[in-house]
Amino acid sequence: MQKFWTELLAVLAGGMACVQVLAQPGVIATRPQDSLSTRMLTMEEAVLGYELYPERLKTVWRPGSTELTKYENGVLYAVNPLAGLNGEIMRTADIEGFSDDEGIRFVQWLGRDTAIFSDGEAYFLIDAGKKEVKGKIRLPGGVANLVFNEAGFHPYTLGNGLYFCDNYGNTYPVAVSEDKNIIYGQYVSRNEFGITGGIFLSPSGKKVAFYRKDESAVGTFPLLDITSRTGTLFEIKYPMAGMSSENVRLGVYDFASGTTVYLDCDDFGYDQYLTGITWTPDDRLILVQVLDRSQKHMKLNKYSSSTGEFAGTVLTEDNDRFVEPQDPVWFLEGSTDRFIYRTDNRDGFKNLYLCDLDGNVGRLTRTGADVMYAGNDGKKVYYTSAEVSPIENHLFSIDIKTGRTARLTSAEGWHEVSMSPGCSYFTDCYSSLDVPYVADLCSTDGRQRSVNLLTSHNPVSDFRFCEISLGKVRSADGKYDNYYRMIKPAGFDPSKKYPVILYVYGGPHSQLVRNTWLGELRRWEMYMAQRGYIVYVQDNRGTMNRGADFEKAIYGRCGKAEMADQMEGIKMLCSLPYVDKDRIGVHGWSYGGFMTISLITNYPDVFKVAVAGGPVIDWKWYEVMYGERYMGNPAVNPEGYEATSLINKAKDLKGKLLICQGAVDNVVVWQHSLNFVRECIRNNVQVDYFPYPCAQHNVMGKDRIHLMDKVTLYFDTFLL
């Protein structure tokens, strides 16, 4: 703390020479305000003003073709890749039972010729060529996780069980559970490790793999439902760090025979993790990334889909901090043996490797930046990369034989791409600081001129939006550039001094600063800038898209490296003559709530006001999968848990702190914030607290207007 202020005073000691520095250091792009309009955002517009986002492309590729399709006003169109013209595929009004478009939505393609529509009560399988209904599925209430299957077997979950239906809605059981602790076909591991669901169809559609989750050993946490007459407690399963976790198995069901086998996954015992579930293209094998509970050791194993027997280990990963598998593997087109695998554990960045089932592994991409797989045609692999800049995303191709690479997107900014079947074409949807949104249809060989599909207008051109700058500041260890977004207040006058609000998240898997339209702005930030605040947002070590060392710097001491980096940004801000260093506030939610309270208690002489939402207070109360990855097991790292616990920092609170929390938060449970309040009471430290009685981890909808109004009023009262 003393070192911080010594360095800061040295910066400020330049007198008039310092005052003449009117621009913040490290600026790489600046966007002035849109117009001279006096129109300001209302809180409702800042929170729920969906019309203030740019229009976006709503298209999907048709399987087995190069047609880009869209559905609007009752018509399913195809976009010609050469000319960009709209060709009519079918009209829903031409289909019996679809007299008009009201209430009808396009769901997805199921193969080249079958389109699925829904009227809200049933699903209709439509032959798009013959324009006739080939199936109708009506399912009972409570059905979830429905996965459509071209082979005609459509698995779904109901309660804790797994079932499937045919094209006419006839239903059949796969795995029925009468035990509340046994769950089939749903996500496991609390959605960590890239897990988003629990149903994995084979390429032929004749078999399905599924998760079986046993939560018998997992403890519960009680939540209060105040909407009942006398109030009701309901318990959720919540595996806390260091405590008993769930057991996960992977079953395989054969639709024709009605039989189930379970894979022989037993490398690391009861509470291992199973992720990256991938079928070989011939249905013969299933690849599973098996991770031990410490998350330091991973085996990519192969198993027989017919017997469940272990067929060998393809490759292994080991790391002293953590291994974090987040992707399946991707097989090369036309191959049942060779596949692409992504990891940051071999060269320090998330690169792609070309592997085979015999365990041969060769590096494919050779960038000093994180990459993400986008597609392949058997000869070339397509990927997006941060190699141009960590705040930009661009598409590249690499020739598998020669290793020759080519950059396929050129416009400045962040590009989101979608490859066509066969990878002959791609949609390039991008924005940058001053470009709201552009969508082009491009060819991967570059021989065809790209076709513009959409160029969005600026939806906030009538508002008085303030100046936004993107810049960078060195990390506290001097190794990296951390990128920031800064918004100057309305009517900015460099001769005046303004209060600052630091909006922070700072946790893993996040990147708040990108070269997108308005710099990835959250509109509440602009709302506060319009009210006279400088708003500052910065990424730090521990966030994503910067390589393994950058991301894993937080291991064992969550908050330490992150706070040090954020304070470098604050130091930079305090060197600016128009920043009032006596009026600095901080706000964040979830991991950002943890960061908010960490900052105001560790730097009580810097931060005057803070608002923390749903904050983690002590990592021993957070869940196993996430908490043990970054902090280790409490039994192994007691010093780290003790050093990062905010219970120990409650006595150091000097400024004004408001904590907001959803009372039925099932992610960061109430135990966190209530224990912090209790510790404040023990130390006779005043703290403000506001619960949202029926909200879970995030306060949504109309309630969110109240929340952000509460946050704003707190800063207006004590900081402005």
- CATH number, domain with residue 73: 2.40.10
d(CA 676, CA 615): 10
In the chain, how many domains are there? 3
> At which of 93, 113, 138 does a domain end?
138
Angstrom CA distances, 619 to 286, 623, 630, 689, stand at 35, 8, 10, 21
Same domain, 523 and 441: no
Distance CA 94, CA 102 (A): 14
Q: Give the residue from 414, 440, 456 where a domain finishes.
A: 456
Residues 509 and 638 in one domain: yes
The answer on 425 and 470 residing in a single domain is no
Distance of CA 459 to the CA centre of its chain: 25
Residue 401 lies in a domain: yes
Active-site residue identified among 475, 598, 665, 672? 665
Question: What pLDDT shows up at residue 8?
Answer: 37
**Whole-angstrom Cα distance, residue 29 to residue 162?**
52
Residue-level pLDDT at 352:
98
For residue 509, indicate whether it is catalytic: no
Contacts 24+ apart (CB under 8 A), 2-9: 4/567, 4/571, 4/603, 4/606, 5/605, 7/571, 8/571, 8/574, 8/575, 8/581
> Cα angle vertex 285, ends 279, 287, to 5°?
60
Give residue for tokens 């995030």: 698
Residue 208 lies in a domain: no
Strands 579-589 and 534-538: unpaired
Q: Is 697 designated active site?
A: yes
* Dihedral sign for Cα atoms in the order 493, 494, 496, 501: positive
Containing structural domain, residue 397: 329-456
**513 and 442 co-located in one domain:** no
Task: Sort strands 534-538 and 609-613 into parallel, antiparallel or unpaired.
Answer: unpaired
Looking up residue 450, the CATH number of its domain turns out to be 2.130.10.120
Residue 578 lies inside a defined structural domain of this protein: yes
Residue 186 lies in a domain: no
Residue 184 belongs to some domain of the structure: no
From residue 175, alpha-carbon distances to 275, 399, 720 in Å are 20, 44, 59
In a domain? residue 368 = yes
Same domain, 493 and 577: yes
37 classed as catalytic:
no
Same-domain status, 532 and 519? yes
Q: What pTM did the predictor assign?
A: 0.94
Domain membership of residue 579 (yes or no) is yes
Residue 429 and residue 466 in one domain: no
Tokens 């490290």 belong to residue: 26
On whether both 579 and 565 belong to a single domain, the answer is yes
What are the strands, taking DSSP E only, across 55-109?
A: 60-61, 68-72, 75-79, 86-91, 105-109
CB 167 within 8 A of CB 177: no
Catalytic annotation, pick one of 590, 598, 645, 673: 590
Catalytic residue among 119, 254, 697, 703: 697
Same-domain pairing of 374 and 503: no
Q: Do residues 351 and 362 both lie within one domain?
A: yes
What mean pLDDT, rounded, does the chain reach? Answer: 94
33: helix, strand or coil? coil
pLDDT given at position 101: 62
Question: Which tokens sit at 468?
Answer: 């936004």
Whether 378 and 524 share a structural domain? no
Residue 172 within a domain: no
Hey, which bits of 444-567 come out as E strands?
A: 451-455, 468-474, 481-487, 498-503, 534-538
Instruction: Check residue 307 and give its pLDDT.
Output: 98
Q: Are 585 and 715 in contact (CB under 8 A)?
A: yes
Spans in the chain with pLDDT lower than 70: 1-24, 34-35, 82-84, 97-102
The candidate with the shortest Cα–Cα distance to 217, out of 187, 250, 179, is: 179
Which of the listed residues 111, 138, 165 is the one where a domain comes to its end?
A: 138
Length of the chain in terms of residues written: 720
Check whether residue 394 and residue 422 sit in a common domain.
yes
